[in-house]
Amino acid sequence: MKHKITRRDFLKRGADISALSLLGGSLISSAGCGDAQKPAPLEAEKIAVVEGDDCAAAAKRAVDLLGGIESYVPKGAKVCLLPNAQKNHPGTFTKPEIVESVIEMCRHAGAKKISCLSWLPRKSWEALGLDEIIESAGAELVIVDMKDESLFKPVPIPRGTVLKEARIMNVFFDYDVFINLPITKDHAGNRFTGTMKNLMGLNSPKSNRTFHTGNFKNDNIEHLDQCIADLNTVLAPDLCIVDATEFIITNGPFGPGKLHAPRKVVAGTDRVAIDAYCCKLWDLEPREIIMIDRAHQLGLGEIDLTKKKIEESVI
């Protein structure tokens, strides 16, 4: 199994660096820990795409194409998951079957603890039946009070162009592995949401409010998307598994909206490439989505899909 550098490993090794660097770096995965610890070049990383009606099986197959869950979840690891449970309209939330499948995979890998983290109220999860599914699958739903800023840790963003500080939920730092579980869909503010925008779910709502200059429909899109790209410089999921099975392409992010159903699950570690791929599922041009282009400019991933190995499967 390929060794992955966890946040705890990084914190232990970084005891002799400055407090500022320690705080900013503690969130960054092995991709941001210096040349000696970097994984294979982004061009060599693979995106797995599985099409089929059984989205739970598709999620499992996608992870298997990447080397299996054991490549990301060491035995005894504590794993946090970040599904999207924003609304209960069709095509606006991560399908419960995918969440359940990922929990089962993590359990099979020998994870010590598995939690879904959120600052959304429990009623949002109850409306989807996700609370019961998560808990019956052997995981925990951890709800952080969005109104209590003491539950969020300030994290400097040294490379941030617009966003200079994030406020990440304290409990996040208790975990070894982070798996991002977004749904790709329309967004009225910046046209597209996927792996990178989903990370706002770890940042405090008060901090997220600064991303917006108005309401969704009159936001400064450049400002919003740059903030998202900046946030992604200090948050790096170990794995992204995207629900692209059925999603709204109008009236996002809450819906209801027009549904598009590619019946696909997309998985990998390169957030820029994954979001670029998901854009093309509904004829959006990745370079026209400022968030994706800016993240590419920051070196967070590859926007040119011709440079990626995309392994596709149908089940």
CA distances from residue 105 to 71, 134, 307 in whole angstroms, order as listed: 11, 13, 29
* Residue 212, pLDDT score: 87
Judge contact between 308 and 43, C-beta under 8 A: yes
45-314 domain in CATH 3.40.50? yes
* Residue 217, pLDDT score: 66
Q: Residue 137 — φ and ψ, nearest 5°?
A: -80, -5
For residue 37, the tally of other CB atoms under 10 A from its CB is 16
Sign of CA dihedral 303, 71, 144, 55: positive
Angle at 274 between CA 89 and CA 248, to 5 degrees: 20
For residue 116, the tally of other CB atoms under 10 A from its CB is 28
* Residue 13, pLDDT score: 33
**Predicted confidence (pLDDT) per residue in 17-58, tens digit:** 233 333 333 344 432 332 223 333 343 479 999 999 999 999
Look at residues 259, 289, 264, 295 and name the one whose alpha carbon lies nearest to residue 192.
289
CA distances from residue 138 to 101, 116, 162 in whole angstroms, order as listed: 11, 11, 40
**Predicted confidence (pLDDT) per residue in 229-246, tens digit:** 999 999 999 999 999 999
pTM score of the predicted model: 0.87
Low-confidence ranges of the chain (pLDDT < 50): 1-44
Domain ranges of the chain: 45-314
